[in-house]
Amino acid sequence: MLDHTFCVAPMMDWTDRHDRMFLRLISKNALLYTEMVTSAALQHGDAAYLLKYHAAEHPVALQLGGSDPEQLSFAARLGEQAGYDEINLNVGCPSDRVQSGTFGACLMANPALVADCVAAMREAVDVPVTVKCRIGIDDQDDEPFLLRFVETVAAAGCKTFIIHARKAVLKGLSPKENREIPPLNYERVFSIKKQFPELCVVINGGIQSLELAQQLLGSVDGVMLGREAYQNPFVLHEVDQRFYSADPKHLTRKDYLTAYLPYLQEELESGTPLNHMTRHLLGLFKGVPGGKQFRRHLSENAHKKGAGVEVVTAALALVD
């Protein structure tokens, strides 16, 4: 079993390998998750490209999207062969595109199918298979519904549930609105832990500070930060000290970015455009004098042809 005390959420278009590599410099212990990768893409597309990551990212989990047990078992096997530490099944994404593929949050309405998927994936791999879900969907939004879902999927061997403490509204709300409009209900997640003490329960949704994360850990086994970890990555600066008993770090935002420069150079030499990496750095100096100038310089220059590390060092010089 992996340590799920502190996790960074899988976020489409955000938590790619470049972002995860930067976050890993700030926290050595947080469990990082990939963007969702569909099982169909791994079966029919460029699996090596989709599964690429840096060895320094460990511990890192692969999140899969899909609803075909056979296809998911194939994809999970590829993920294990690539070296991922965990395979996670997405049962929480509410987007129309995901629903049209019959996976994501709409799968909560069919816990028996989710159980079949988990069983097939567990049969295929030795690493942990986990599930990320919501507390409910549409009008199926009460504690008995969530209890039945967890009970059914746990019976298939899932030992870890990451639960976003909002229901998903499958018709009428965008994915962004689904992260903000449905009210948070932490108590329902706490109840799952109380009724299934043998399971590892990780809570997600609305966590914007380490103080709140520590408070929530009094009722669950782990916490997962999403947007805050991306839009303000320096929030991870004290994670190792607060959650993993590590010695305090006396590093600054500038220190972390300087430590990232060799990776930027290595990726540039392999053909990765600079802006594919610097877009993840825009929130690093949030609230710091010169932060706006830093963001503006990167935004205006990192996309230019031939842009190199010097663009980042010049932006860094604008920060106090």
pLDDT for the residue 242: 97
Percent of the residues in the chain that have a pLDDT greater than 90, as a whole number: 91
Whether 301 is in a domain gets the answer yes
Domain count, the chain: 2
Average pLDDT over residues 169-194: 91
Residues 151 and 89 in one domain: yes
Residues 35 and 85 in one domain: yes
Each residue of 49-63: pLDDT tens digit?
999 999 999 999 999
Residues 229 and 267 in one domain: no
Residues 288 and 258 in one domain: yes
- Please choose, from the candidates 318, 306, 244, the residue with its C-alpha nearest in 3D space to the C-alpha of residue 281: 318
- Residue 226: half-sphere exposure toward Cβ, Cα within 13 Å: 19
| Overall pTM surpassing 0.85 (yes/no) | yes
Cα 130–131–134 angle (5° rounding)? 155
Residues 156 and 282 in one domain: no
User: 203, 222, 244 — which closes off a domain?
Assistant: 244
pLDDT grade, residue 103 (50/70/90)?
A: confident
Residues 151 and 190 in one domain: yes
pLDDT for the residue 280: 98
Q: Give the CATH number of the domain where residue 259 resides.
A: 1.20.120
pLDDT grade, residue 180 (50/70/90)?
A: confident
Q: What span, in angstroms and rounded, lies between the C-alpha atoms of 197 and 264?
A: 44
Whether 257 is in a domain gets the answer yes
Backbone angles phi, psi at 88, to 5 degrees: -115, 135
Residues 143 and 21 in one domain: yes
Average pLDDT over residues 285-301: 97
Backbone angles phi, psi at 105, to 5 degrees: -60, -30
**Whether 117 is catalytic:** no
Whether 1 is in a domain gets the answer no
Residues 225 and 299 in one domain: no
Residue 274, domain extent:
253-316
pLDDT for the residue 174: 83
Residues 75 and 137 in one domain: yes
Residues 45 and 178 in one domain: yes
Residues 177 and 294 in one domain: no
Q: Give the CATH number of the domain where residue 75 resides.
A: 3.20.20.70
- Please choose, from the candidates 20, 31, 101, the residue with its C-alpha nearest in 3D space to the C-alpha of residue 65: 101
pLDDT for the residue 98: 64
pLDDT grade, residue 100 (50/70/90)?
A: low
In the set 7, 93, 106, 158, the catalytic residue is 93
pLDDT for the residue 99: 61
**Mean pLDDT, the chain, whole residue set:** 96
Helices (H) and strands (E) in the chain, counts: 16, 8
